[in-house]
Amino acid sequence: MRLRARRNYEKCLSLARGEYVKFLNDDDVLEPGCVARLLSAFLEVPDLVLATSHRFRIDAQSRIMDDMPATRPVVDRDVVIDGVSLATCGDHVRD
């Protein structure tokens, strides 16, 4: 039985045993150092609950493609954002 996206993520989280979780879909490729950089955010900000990064779209030959709405960066630098929504991120950025 296919779980579809949401139930697949729920199943993955229920099976996870580590302190941190990095989602990686079957068509994703990680840049070298990606996990280390995300982990460093948790080490620098003890109350952090989510770290994310800019995603680059690539084609079948690994060439970077233009962003689409889902991959456009919300901010132009590393920041900590309070709250559950990025819709108002300008008001909740901690430097």
| Strand, helix or coil for residue 93 | strand
Would you state the pLDDT for residue 87?
56
**For range 69-81, the mean pLDDT:** 84
> In the chain, pLDDT over 70 holds for what percent of residues?
86
CA distance 51 to 6: 19
**For range 52-70, the mean pLDDT:** 90
| Strand, helix or coil for residue 25 | coil
